[in-house]
Structure 1
Amino acid sequence: MNTDWDSKTVIGKSVRPAGSGGARAGPTAYERAKAVGAITENDRKTSAGTNKNVQGPDHQRIAKLDRENEVAPPPKVAPSVGKAIQQGRQALNLTQKDLGTKIMEKPQVIAEYESGKAIPNPQILGKMERVLGVKLRGKDIGAPLGGPKKK
């Protein structure tokens, strides 16, 4: 008398069809392409299946070379420009916040320009020139900004 208690169940083993023997049905696309000479062994991606940085190992080396090639840090605003901004702003009785609002920049940007910590941006300097009426670029920094040239 054979009962379910006598039968053996193996977990994790799947039943395979007879004759397959666990082998694939045919060559893969890579094997077929290699057989006809469409690709060589060197064409196969060597890092396939690895969890490596997408940018590749050269990214860090190139970034390091870029940092080494920097001869000097970017130039900061000259102290004369910061002083001219501060004097022009005080002449108009504007706070840094007021000037920032007029040129649509944060007050911190104005503070950085006045202290000489900012990297000069021609667009911001141009906006400040128009509001303050003082030259902040080129020669004669601090001089009154002339109106449109007349012919």
Structure 2
Amino acid sequence: MSNTDWDSTTIIGKKARPGGSGAGRQGPTAYERAKQVGAITENDRKVAAGTNKGHQGTDHMRIAKLDRENEVAPPPKVAPSVGKAIGQARQALKLTQKDLGTKINEKPNVIADYESGKAIPNPQILSKMERALGVKLRGKDIGMPLGGPKKA
């Protein structure tokens, strides 16, 4: 019987590549080839290639500083009375910050930020908290129970 393609063994991997065991370099890099043909000079290679430092020049920093200086005022934070009202209403309902967060589909750290007065007030979040806690958190009478619809 003759030796056919079906009987031969095909080896896949480094050893099957032409040029020996594959342990050495395959050939010059694209950069080295371009340098050999004179397409680029030694000075053309980017010094900061592969890093994220090339575009952080002084212009960007100067512009960022100007932006910070021209800012009119930082956004207002939640009033301490609102944070206190949230905490008291939450504790009265025996809810943890995590429970309240789950109830209104917000993360527990959002609740913590509102209670500590670090959060920038968001009317949607305040509205959800008002409904969940049954307490007014906006306008006047902060901390008072939410009234139902007015009767005529």
Q: Give the TM-score normalised by the residue count of structure 2.
A: 0.58
Matches within 5 A, 1:1-150: 60-150=61-151
1:74 Cα shift?
1.7
Q: Give the TM-score normalised by the residue count of structure 1.
A: 0.58
Q: Report the counterpart of residue 43 of structure 2 in structure 1.
A: none
**Equivalenced residues, count:** 103
The code of the aligned residue for 1:66 comes to D
1:62 Cα shift?
4.2
The code of the aligned residue for 1:111 comes to A
1:61 Cα shift?
4.6
Q: Aligned equivalents of 2:65 and 2:138: distance in 1? A: 34
Provide, for residues 94-133 of structure 1, a one-character-per-residue CA deviation record: whole Å limited to 9, x for no partner.
Answer: 1111100000011111111111111111111110000001
Runs of 5+ unmatched residues, structure 2: 1-35, 38-48
Question: Cα gap change, 1:63/1:150 in structure 2, threshold over 3 Å: closer, same or farther?
Answer: farther
Q: Aligned equivalents of 1:62 and 1:114: distance in 2? A: 35
Runs of 5+ unmatched residues, structure 1: 1-11, 14-50
Q: Aligned equivalents of 1:103 and 1:62: distance in 2? A: 40
The code of the aligned residue for 1:141 comes to I
Q: Aligned equivalents of 1:129 and 1:67: distance in 2? A: 34
Structural RMSD (CA): 2.7
Q: Aligned equivalents of 2:151 and 2:59: distance in 1? A: 57
Provide, for residues 65-102 of structure 1, a one-character-per-residue CA deviation record: whole Å limited to 9, x for no partner.
Answer: 22111233221111100110011111111111110000
